Amino acid sequence: MRLIKRLKILVPTIVLCLLWFVTASYADQFKVTRVTDGDTIKVTNNGTTTTIRLVGIDAPELSKKKNDPGQPYSKKSTKHLASQVLNKTVDIKSYGKGRYGRTLGVVFVGGILR
C-alpha cells in the first residue's frame, strides 16, 4: 500500500520534470537582426549576438564577391527568409554547434515553425 502511495506522488513529479526539461530548450526569446543568407540568421538577446544556422535547410549561397550574384536563387531565398523572420521576436530550439561555430537551430515565430 505504501508503494502505491509513493508511486502516485512520484509519477506525476517525474512527468512534470520531463515537461519542464522539454520547454526549457526554449531558453529565451531573440530578435532577428540580420538574415545572412537563406539558411543563416543573426539574433540578439540582452546585447549578445548569435549566429544561427537553420537545421534541415541547405539554401543556395550568396557570393562573398561584390559583383558576383552567387548561386542561382540565392538572393530569392535570402529575401524569402527575411520576409518570415527579420525584425521579429523568435524562439530557438538549439541543437548544439556546427563545424563553423554557428548554433544549429530551429526557429519559431509566434509558436509556429518557420
**Active site residue ranges:** 53, 61, 102
The CA radius of gyration of the chain, in Å to the nearest whole number, is 20
CA distance 105 to 96: 8
Interatomic CA distance for residues 35 and 38, integer angstroms? 7
Check: CB of residue 41 under 8 Å from CB of residue 107.
yes
d(CA 41, CA 51): 6
